[in-house]
């Protein structure tokens, strides 16, 4: 009888120790990354898009446009998300009204995708105001883009801060400079904190 009791006590202690070890070896939580970026975008509607990756925090070469290496792309005022008609990825987007800092998590459903070349997730003109006198684009206040990334597993939020002309070549602008802030969550959760 003592042997069975000793064995039971030893089993309980072993389970406790194994459980304690697993808690100590837990994967550390990776916080969301927040940054401000400027992306050079072609002014013309006839040139290549400029591609961006949240994971790498950088522009992506147009040679990689047919891959899952990018999340969104811009040309003049036209946005693409890496999905369906625009790319092989699973990127989606929700344009939400609100205060950037107050949006602390991404929805898990409700994303729009580039279903065809004319039915894009982000409609041209939905995110900016155009001033015909100064010929300037101004991002609409309170518009926040919530992205599901091209891998379909991670989330980012983005707010456009400004759109400016790069220095002109002669009398014609060739490039727009899109300045934006974004928060990318690399750990796969929906939290932006």
Bridge partners of 85?
none
Residue 116: helix, strand or coil by DSSP? coil
d(CA 86, CA 118): 10
Q: Are 91 and 122 in contact (CB under 8 A)?
A: no
**Residue 4 pLDDT exceeds 60:** no
**Residue 11 pLDDT exceeds 80:** no
d(CA 23, CA 9): 21
d(CA 123, CA 172): 26
pLDDT tens digits for range 27-80:
566 789 999 999 999 988 888 999 999 999 999 999 999 999 999 999 999 999
pLDDT tens digits for range 120-159:
999 999 999 999 998 889 999 999 999 999 999 999 999 9
Residue-averaged pLDDT of the chain: 88
d(CA 7, CA 102): 55
d(CA 80, CA 77): 10
d(CA 44, CA 176): 9
- The pTM of the full predicted model, rounded to 2 decimals, is 0.83
pLDDT tens digits for range 82-102:
999 999 999 999 999 999 999
| Predicted local distance difference test score (pLDDT) of residue 58 | 96
Q: Which of 172, 147, 181, 180 is nearest to 47 (CA)?
A: 172
């Amino acid at each position: 009888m003592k042997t069975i009791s000793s064995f039971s006590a030893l089993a309980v202690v072993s389970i406790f120790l194994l459980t304690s070890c697993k808690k100590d070896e837990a994967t550390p939580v990776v916080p969301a990354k927040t940054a401000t970026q400027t992306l050079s975008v072609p002014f013309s509607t006839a040139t290549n898009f400029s591609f961006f990756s949240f994971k790498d925090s950088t522009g992506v070469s147009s040679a990689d446009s047919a891959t899952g290496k990018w999340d969104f792309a811009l040309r003049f005022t036209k946005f693409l998300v890496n999905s369906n008609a625009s790319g092989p990825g699973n990127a989606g987007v929700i344009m939400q009204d609100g205060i950037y800092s107050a949006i602390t998590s991404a929805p898990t459903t409700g994303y729009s995708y580039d279903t065809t070349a004319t039915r894009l997730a982000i409609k041209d003109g939905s995110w900016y105001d155009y001033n015909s006198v100064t010929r300037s684009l101004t991002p609409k206040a309170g518009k926040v883009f919530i992205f599901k990334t091209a891998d379909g597993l991670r989330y980012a939020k983005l707010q456009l801060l400004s759109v400016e002309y790069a220095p002109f070549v002669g009398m014609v602008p060739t490039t727009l400079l899109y300045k934006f802030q974004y928060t990318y969550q690399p750990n796969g959760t929906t939290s932006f904190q």
